[in-house]
Amino acid sequence: MRDKKPAILLLEDGRLFRGWSFGAEGETGGEVCFNTGMTGYQEILTDPSYCGQIVTMTSPHIGNYGVNREDVESAHIQVAGFVVREETEIPSNHRSTQSLGDYLREAEIVGIQGIDTRALTRHIRDRGAMNGIISTEEADTNSLTEKLKDIPSMYGLDLVPRVTCDNSWKWDKNEFDIEPKFKVACIDYGVKWNILRLLTSHGCDVNVFPATTTAESLLDWNPDGIFLSNGPGDPAAAEYAVEMVKTVLGKKPIFGICLGHQILSLALGAKTYKLKFGHRGINHPVKNLETGTVEITSQNHGFAVDIDSLPNNVISTHLNLNDNTSEGIQCKDIPAFSVQYHPESSPGPHDSRYLFQQFMEMMEEFSQ
């Protein structure tokens, strides 16, 4: 058992939580949000969509099965900080290679445990997601309050440059021994690796391109389809991404997920807005408006597309049953569609993986 060092979490509205150091010691700040999943903490930690955020897990015991080398969604941990009720220091799983606490310390990620995460979650639900700071070094709340003023608001913040790749690269981890049928250009706004795995499993040869890739260079590569990935931050702030998508609309089939859904919607003329506390978890009900089927989905986003702002040539295909927000769109006159949630899950249910096959069929039809 490690010695417990005091730590505090201070929110920008003055709410204070006292607990113990978890992971690395130090200070970190970002938007405080919560995830309702009972599992999948390693995938959450490495999801680039969480860049700039302090993630609170609502399940009380985190780290039960440790961590391993396979269940990652990017090359390193992406969260700004991590909050749990209680760390499991001795994991039990045959795939585990180290404990969650050691994993965070190795990556120098600051966290806090021993606080009432239920109270924190209720506070965020009532007051909305807000910035916060975790510290194991500073006990003076006045000093931490001043430091909080330097943390930028998520509203209007473009975080894509912090997570996108520097140069284009080929995803060559073909675990499925499937002969590629389509060339797919993935625009990396912070792509999760399981998306690339599933595109490959459906017969795609995937090249990943930086978020600032021009339409000209993208079309020069001549893909069969363009995939717009998930990612962090305010979609309206990524104007370069929106302008690029505007240029390629109708020239190639397009499929977007999460931030990619928002960017496609903006390129088509819709608007986006910030949700009060976002959707983050693996049990969100979404209704497919075309089939009437209700899918249980994995979600991670703090912004949404304004359904009422969709242009006449765009239809709403999926709806969140918790708050009636946009979960999917499709163009009537060009081959382009997107969803707000994560059909690749990881973690989460597999109800929505049919969307990858829908993308394959769209590319096949367009090629003919």
Polymer length of the chain: 368
Regarding beta strands 130-135 and 86-87, do their DSSP bridges make them parallel or antiparallel, or are they unpaired?
unpaired
Spatial separation of the C-alpha atoms in residues 265 and 324, rounded to whole Å: 17
Whether 258 is catalytic: yes
Kindly give the interhelix angle for 239-248 and 259-268, rounded to the nearest 10 degrees: 60
Given the residues 258, 261, 301, 331, the one annotated as active site = 258
Best CATH choice for the domain 6-148 from the list 3.60.20.10, 3.30.70.100, 1.10.1200.10, 3.50.30.20 = 3.50.30.20
Whether 344 is catalytic: yes
Q: What is the DSSP letter of 24?
A: B
pTM of the model: 0.97
- CATH superfamily entry for domain 160-367: Class I glutamine amidotransferase (GATase) domain (3.40.50.880)
pLDDT confidence of residue 177: 78
Spatial separation of the C-alpha atoms in residues 242 and 49, rounded to whole Å: 18
Neighbour-count burial for 170-182, b at 16+ CB within 10 Å, e otherwise:
ebeeeeeeeeeeb
Spatial separation of the C-alpha atoms in residues 266 and 61, rounded to whole Å: 39
pLDDT confidence of residue 126: 98
Condensed to tens digits (0 to 9), the pLDDT of residues 280-312 reads 999 999 999 999 999 999 999 999 999 999 999
pLDDT confidence of residue 178: 84
Q: Which two tokens stand for residue 323?
A: 């708050």
Whether 342 is catalytic: yes
Query: What are the sequence ranges of the domains in the chain?
Result: 6-148, 160-367
Q: Which two tokens stand for residue 133?
A: 């700071």
pLDDT in 10s for each residue of the chain, 368 residues: 467 899 999 999 999 999 999 999 999 999 999 999 999 999 999 999 999 999 999 999 999 999 999 999 999 999 999 999 999 999 999 999 999 999 999 999 999 999 999 999 999 999 999 999 999 999 999 999 999 999 999 999 999 999 999 999 999 887 777 889 999 999 999 999 999 999 999 999 999 999 999 999 999 999 999 999 999 999 999 999 999 999 999 999 999 999 999 999 999 999 999 999 999 999 999 999 999 999 999 999 999 999 999 999 999 999 999 999 999 999 999 999 999 999 999 999 999 999 999 999 999 999 98
pLDDT confidence of residue 3: 72
* Phi, psi (deg, nearest 5) at residue 108: 60, 45
pLDDT confidence of residue 2: 60
